[in-house]
Amino acid sequence: MKELKIAAIKDGTVIDHIPSERTFRVAKMLNIDEIEGVVSVASGLKSRKVGRKGIIKISNRELNEKEVNKISLLAPNASLNIVKNFEVVEKIRVALPDEIVGIGRCANPKCVTNNEKVKPRFKVIKGKEIMVRCHYCERVQGINDIFPE
């Protein structure tokens, strides 16, 4: 059986080892539909490490810290490859931050962040399943709660 390959990018960022079922959520969260230039998204690719994985290639763009933090919440084992002139010049393993600010939305409708101009702020609770605690209302919630589809 012939293996399909995704075209290489000259310069930009490759997000690899995304859980297959979360690939399109990561893409949506990064607003890839607003990115000018070439973007490749693939899901269900074979992986020796995790069985099935997703990959996103974004040409002519490096991700900022906020975007990397978003990725770490949905794909904590993902890696970022910074590509220059078709060569990987830097490989970064995403890491869960202790706190996230200005990302996501508290699931508590009565939380101050949903009723006033206050940036959401969460403490990340690391465990088998990643959870977050709202800084303001102290509600503990899952990643799917703060990033509804």
The predicted structure's pLDDT at residue 8: 86
Residues 6+ apart with CB under 8 A from 41: 23, 24, 27, 32, 54, 55, 56, 57
User: Is residue 35 over pLDDT 80?
Assistant: yes
Q: What's the rounded mean pLDDT across residues 92-99? A: 92
Question: Which of 72, 6, 9, 69 is CA-nearest to residue 43?
Answer: 6
Examine the pLDDT at 46 and tell me if it is beyond 90. Answer: no
Print burial letters for 63-92: b (CB count within 10 Å at least 16), e (below 16): beeebbbbbbbbbbebebbbbeeeeeeeee
- Quote the CA–CA distance of 58 and 39 in Å, as a whole number: 5
Please report how many Cα atoms fall inside a 13 Å half-sphere around the Cα of residue 94, on the Cβ side: 25
Instruction: Determine the pLDDT at residue 6.
Output: 76
Q: How far apart are CA 146 and CA 135, in angstroms?
A: 13
The model's pTM: 0.83
127 touches 93 (CB < 8 A): no
pLDDT digits (tens, 9 = 90+) for 106-135: 999 999 999 999 999 999 998 888 899 999
Looking at per-residue pLDDT, the higher value among 3 and 135 belongs to: 135
